Amino acid sequence: MTNARETAAVPAEPSSMKRGAPSGDILDFLRGRGVAVPPAASGGRRELGGEGGLLESLWRGGHVGAAELAAQLAVFYGLPLARPGEVAAGAVIGSDLSLRFLRETFILPYAGEDGLCLAVADPGAGEEIDAVRLALPGADALTILPFDAFDRLFSDIGKEEREGPTAGADGSDTALEGLDLALGDDPEALQDLARGAPIVRAVDQVLERALEAGATDIHFETGREALRIRLRVDGILRLDQSLPKRLAPAVISRIKILAGLDIAERRLPQDGRANIRIGHVEADLRIAVMPTLYGETAVARILLKDARLLDFARIGMDAVNRTAFERLLAEPHGIIIVTGPTGSGKTTTLATAVSLLNDPARKIVTVEDPIEYQIAGIHQTQIKPSIGLGFAQALRAFLRHDPDVMMVGEMRDGETASIGIQAALTGHLVLTTLHTNSATDAVVRLADMGVEPYLIAASLRGVLGQRLVRRLCERCRRPAPERTAEVRDLCRTRGLSVPEHADYHRAVGCPTCSGSGFQGRVGVFEVFAATPEIRVLIRERPDPQRLVAAARLDGMTTMLEDGLLKAAQGFTCIDEVFRAVG
């Protein structure tokens, strides 16, 4: 349908074009073409929580794939689809054009077969398109390029700029080569070097690449011969670059300066925080520095300041688990726990739950470390252990503020657990997290903290267990029907429910996903509700196996079953489910 028109761009104002069409028109069109547009989209991009345009929010929210959205827009606006290779080869970045502006607006001028063209992701962005035309006269024709293709193209353009005239043959910054790094233990000289332009630029480029790649952590690791920098993307560490060992003190010192740490202290661990902004992306960094055998090592946890309206469907929770969890949240009092390992999305789930409960009729307070999601109408407190303000102290103080709902970032000790249980028993709804392997293990963990089983049975309303699995790249995934028999055998052996309709795929790898075969992550969940029968088991003896058996009789879907269902739907692959869940 659209392939025949991919060879020529369309002039700016054909009669069939709908530049600036109302959002309702395009949404109605997408719904009519079978795209699952959520009802909240009718309220505009803020209802979807998008920082960019409405269509960008639909894509980033996982409501529609980038390629599918581009194909539908080509039909709606009567425009051709651009060829990514042609756009990359003919990209035009003039001196009057801001690369950051082009990146944020998803517009890229390029020299096509018939002259200058503008590749756009959203043809309805009239003001932004007109602004580029003012800076680049003659770029009248428009073509459509998917959102994810822009991310890849701008990443390549940024890489070329970084590896341009200042880069050496090995890809390192030649501006760093002439630095005098024979500093010994002189902290003042090291501080001057860490504040210098070459080191500042090198660290800023690492931060920029990390945000572009969607990394959650940056590891600066000092080894015997090199400073290795790795990024954790979709839960997996991958090498970003290696710098000469002599640069390690200056780079680590720069990280310390960002976090307000003492650069002269190299013998003890240090923790700090920093705030960065690159383009329209703002993030907090939690920075930890540790002395090791060959020098100091630093890890920066990236916490995006995400102001989007959170939604359970967006994080991958299906209708069955969503209904079960929302039923728990409807309880007037009690304690609800979210469990999972570090980096499994527990904070995002809690923030989503709090957003759902956010109502002028309720007073909601949170105690967090750190405050990752800032939610209007909710009283949020950051703990500060250095001055004696921990989870237990803040929770005890908030009990005197007449709250209806209390969210505790994590129950780390018996004191916090006891205060939370008492709050739940005295008419408050308490939301919190624990680090356990499954939902039922949370009961045993509370007992290990010293909470009496009868108090757990009286206060617990339910537990949500979760993991994150990597989402298959839509561009390069390939069918894997041979896994159907394996899954059926597994389900038969383990007594699990078998997915009715199987559409299994495997990871391949392409330039879009940097050869990994995956892009992004999706959650797998299990909801353990404390029914009257389960409360009896908790009072008698908190045994996880007995609790799981009883919960499955009540209809609980385990994380493994939820993961197999998502693999059968093509969201992820079987091996990824086994890696994350077991």
For residue range 335-373, list pLDDT tens digits in order. 999 999 888 889 889 988 998 899 889 999 999 887 877
- Tell whether the model's pLDDT for residue 4 goes beyond 70: no
In 332-457, beta strands by DSSP E: 334-339, 364-368, 379-382, 405-408, 429-434
Over range 316-324, report the average pLDDT.
90
Instruction: Report the alpha-carbon distance of residue 176 to residue 194 in Å, rounded.
Output: 11
pLDDT on residue 169: 37
Neighbours of 564 (CB within 10 A): 26
DSSP-assigned beta bridge partners for residue 242 = 228
Neighbours of 78 (CB within 10 A): 15
> How far, in whole angstroms, is CA 320 from its chain's centroid?
23
Most confident range, picked from 21-35, 161-175, 227-241, 310-324:
227-241
pLDDT on residue 533: 93
Give me Rg for the CA atoms of the chain.
Answer: 26
Task: Describe the strand order of the beta sheet including 115-120 as a list of residue ranges.
Answer: 107-112, 115-120, 141-144
Instruction: Report the alpha-carbon distance of residue 208 to residue 103 in Å, rounded.
Output: 13
Is residue 375 very low, low, confident or very high in pLDDT (cuts 50, 70, 90)? confident
Is residue 141 very low, low, confident or very high in pLDDT (cuts 50, 70, 90)? confident
Q: Which amino acid is at 262?
A: D
- Tell whether the model's pLDDT for residue 462 goes beyond 90: yes
What are 344's two structure tokens? 């499994």
- Tell whether the model's pLDDT for residue 491 goes beyond 50: yes
Calculate the average pLDDT of the chain.
82
Neighbours of 225 (CB within 10 A): 9
Is residue 423 very low, low, confident or very high in pLDDT (cuts 50, 70, 90)? very high
What are 329's two structure tokens? 């949240």
- Tell whether the model's pLDDT for residue 6 goes beyond 50: no
- Tell whether the model's pLDDT for residue 410 goes beyond 80: yes
**Which element (helix H / strand E) includes 270?**
strand 270-278
Pairing mode, strands 505-506 and 478-479 = antiparallel
Instruction: Report the alpha-carbon distance of residue 89 to residue 51 in Å, rounded.
Output: 30
pLDDT on residue 10: 53
- Tell whether the model's pLDDT for residue 150 goes beyond 90: no
pLDDT on residue 85: 79
Over range 191-200, report the average pLDDT.
74
Over range 215-219, report the average pLDDT.
93
Is residue 538 very low, low, confident or very high in pLDDT (cuts 50, 70, 90)? very high
> How far, in whole angstroms, is CA 573 from its chain's centroid?
19
User: What is the DSSP code string of 201-215?
Assistant: HHHHHHHHHHHHHTE
- Tell whether the model's pLDDT for residue 576 goes beyond 60: yes
